[in-house]
Amino acid sequence: MTQRKYFIDWIRVIAFFLLIFFHCAMPFVLFGWEIKNKETSEGLSRLIWWLHQWRLPLLFFISGVGTHFSLSKRSVFSFAGERVIRLFIPLLFAMLFTIPLQVYFEWLQEGKISGSYFNFYPQVWNFIPYPEGALTWSHMWFVVYLFVFCLLLIPVFALFKIKALKTAKNYLSRKLSNPVLITFLFLPLAGYYFTLFIQYPEQLGLLDDWFVFLFSLTIFFYGYLLGGTDQFWNNCEKYRYHYLIIAVACILFLFYRYWWNFNMPKQNDVNLYAYGIINSMHIWLFILSMIGFAKKHLNINNRFLQFTNQAVYPFYILHQTIIVAAGFYIVQLNLPIFLKLTILVIITFVSVFLIYRFIIKPFIITRILYGLKPKEKAGNNPPV
C-alpha cells in the first residue's frame, strides 16, 4: 500500500466534476431547486435522478478511503484537528459569505425580495435558518455530514490504532474483500430502505434525516474499512464486468418499475422491499465496478490530475453559488434547454477556475478558507 493509488484521485475528481454538471442541470429538471427554468426536460430529469442515487454514496466511500490513509500517517487527535481546520472552517465561511448569494437569487426569482444583494445580506447575521431565514449550508450538507461522521467515529478510529484490534480489522477487511462476500455488503443499505426510507425522506438537514444519515455513514465506514486492503482493489478490477452487468440489470428494472414515471414506493410493503433491495444492490455494485474500471485504466499521474486533485474541494465549495447566480439570468434567455445548460456549464467551470487560480490558490488565507493546506505539496489528498 506504499505506492500512491492515482485511480482514487481520478475517481474523486471525476465525481466532483460530475456533481457540477448535476447541479447545472437542476434548473431544467422536474424537481424543486434554488432557481428554475420555465420549461423542464423529462429525459434530463430521469438522468439526474439516476445520478442522484450513487454520486454521493460514491463520494462518501472515497472520503472513507481517504480517512483510512489520513489516519495511517497521523494520530487520532491530529486527524480530528485537521478535520476542524479543513472541513468546519470552510463550512462556516461558506455559510456566512458564499452561500447567501444563492438564497438572494432564489428569493429574487420567487419575488420574496426586490432590492440589491447589499440590502439583503444583513439578514444572514440574524442567524435564522433557511427557509424562514437566509442562513443555510445548502450544498455543503455533504461537508456537514462528513465532519459529523469523522467526529462520531473518533472512538472507533482510536480503537483501531491498538495493534491487536488493527490486526483484527485488517483480517476482517481481507475476508470481506472476497469477490462474492463483498457484494453482500448491500444488505445493511437495503435494511435502511425497509425501516427508514418512508418515515425519514431525504431532507439533508442532519437532524431527523436518518435514512440519508445512516446510509451515508455506512458507505463512509465501508471506505474506511476496505480502503487499506489490496485484495479489495484487485478484486474490484478483476470482477468489474461482473459487478457492472448486475448493476445494469438493476438499473433497467428500476427504470422500468419505478424511475421512468417517478413512481417511488410510498408505504411499507413488498413494493418498498423490492425497491430497497434492487436499488441498494445497484448503488453498491455500480460503485465497485467504477472502482474496478478506474483501477484498470486510470492508475496514472499527470499534470491535469495534480492540478484538479488540489482544486476539487474549492471547486465544490464555489460551484453551486456560481450556478445559481449565473443561472438566474440564463433561464431568462429565449433559448432551448440544451443551449442554456451548455452555457451554464461553461460559465461555471470558467468562473470557478479563474477564482481558484487567481484568488484562492495563491494566498494562504484564502487557501485555508477554502479547505486547502497553507502550502501546496504534490500528492496531498483533499479532505473530502
Position 376 scores a pLDDT of 74
Position 378 scores a pLDDT of 54
Position 375 scores a pLDDT of 82
Work out the percent of the chain whose per-residue pLDDT is above 90: 95
* pLDDT tens for each residue of 117-156: 999 999 999 999 999 999 999 999 999 999 999 999 999 9
Position 40 scores a pLDDT of 97
Position 195 scores a pLDDT of 97
Between CA 331 and CA 321 the distance in angstroms is 15
SS3 for the chain, per residue?
Answer: CCCCCHHHHHHHHHHHHHHHHHHHHHHHCCCCCCCCCCCCCHHHHHHHHHHHHHHHHHHHHHHHHHHHHHHCCCCHHHHHHHHHHHHHHHHHHHHHHHCHHHHHHHHHHHCCCCCCHHHHHHHHHHCCECCCCCECCHHHHHHHHHHHHHHHCHHHHHHCCCHHHHHHHHHHHHHHCCCCHHHHHHHHHHHHHHHHCCCCCCCCCCCCCHHHHHHHHHHHHHHHHHCCCHHHHHHHHHCHHHHHHHHHHHHHHHHHHHHCCCCCCCCCCHHHHHHHHHHHHHHHHHHHHHHHHHHHHCCCCCHHHHHHHHHHHHHHHHHHHHHHHHHHHHCCCCCCHHHHHHHHHHHHHHHHHHHHHHHHCCCHHHHHHCCCCCCCCCCCCCCC
Position 293 scores a pLDDT of 98
Written as one letter, the residue type at 319 is H
Task: Count the Cβ atoms, other than its own, within 10 Å of residue 9.
Answer: 25
Between CA 300 and CA 11 the distance in angstroms is 12
Residues linked to residue 135 through DSSP beta bridges, in sequence order = 129
Position 160 scores a pLDDT of 96
Which residues make Cβ contacts (< 8 Å) with residue 10, sequence separation at least 6?
Answer: 294, 298, 305
Position 1 scores a pLDDT of 46
Position 337 scores a pLDDT of 98
Q: Could you say which residues of the chain have pLDDT below 70?
A: 1-2, 377-382
